[in-house]
Amino acid sequence: MRALILAAIFLSVVLSCAGAQADTGEACPSDNYLYPEPTMEEVCGPVPPTNQCSGGDGPCWAAVNEQQKKHQQCRTQFSKDDAERKKHNALVLRCHGKQSEQEPQQKPVAKPDQQGSTKDALKAALEDAKKKTEAASRPTTFHQEQEQIRKEGQDYVKGEQKRYSDELEAKRARDLELEQERREVEKLEREVEANKALIRGDMSRTYEISCNMNIPKIRVLIENIKACAYRHCPKLATSQDAFHCSQRVHEVDYKCFFPIESLWREMERAQCNSIAKQ
């Protein structure tokens, strides 16, 4: 008789646990474990900053907007999941309180037929929370994209600065070459002018003549000039032609041709053309 009474009590307890309901009338969940309740920041991370970009457009703002969008989606999904977790945990607490007058345990013992599925559900929930926590601790995609954009910008600026520096250095080298060539040309021009002045001075000192010179000496000088001119320009017949010939001959007989320029310069200056024609 006593054994029969104990069996009846055990059967009533089993039936009450199998079809238990919360105080609100909702069916008790088959999983009696309490799910972890992480915070929104632990799952989704902090709110992405919006003060990292300058200007009103560009890839930086596109990355900011994309990160804001992903963070908002995470917050929305978290709110749904968190509501489900809290609802589940509340039902577990109510059902536990209805089945026993003791305080509910954090991890109540599951029924033998539910123990395997309960452990799997708890393990999956813990793994999911762990993954989300690790994801929140890693650098966000926004920060990675922002760092990449900053690095690309620095590389571009450095490349442009180097290109401008190389072009400027090449221009300076070209300007220096042109300046050196200009100085060399000026030096040669000064040397030519100096040589001309030296030649003119030598001719003036050596073959200085005037209208006071006697006519025979002038005639002898003219004959010498003609003879010299005929050697270089045989077709010339006059002393004036010989003078122009001397200016065109490259290999100059200085003893012959220097007197030509001096003679005609002095004769024109003293108006001695009439003497030269005699």
- Give the type of residue at 50: T
Predicted pLDDT at 77: 92
Please report how the helices 239-248 and 254-269 are oriented relative to each other, as an axis angle in degrees rounded to 10.
130
- Nearest CA among 244, 201, 207 for reference residue 226: 244
Q: What is the pTM of this model?
A: 0.29
For the record, the structure tokens of 121 come out as: 């559900």
pLDDT in tens, 129-181: 677 766 665 556 667 777 888 888 888 888 888 888 899 889 999 889 888 88
pLDDT in tens, 65-79: 888 888 899 989 989
CB contact at 8 A, 39 and 130: no
pLDDT tens figures, 8-62: 444 443 334 444 454 556 677 776 778 888 888 888 888 887 777 766 666 777 7
Q: Is the pLDDT confidence value at 95 over 60?
A: yes
Q: Is there a contact between 53 and 64 (Cβ–Cβ < 8 Å)?
A: yes
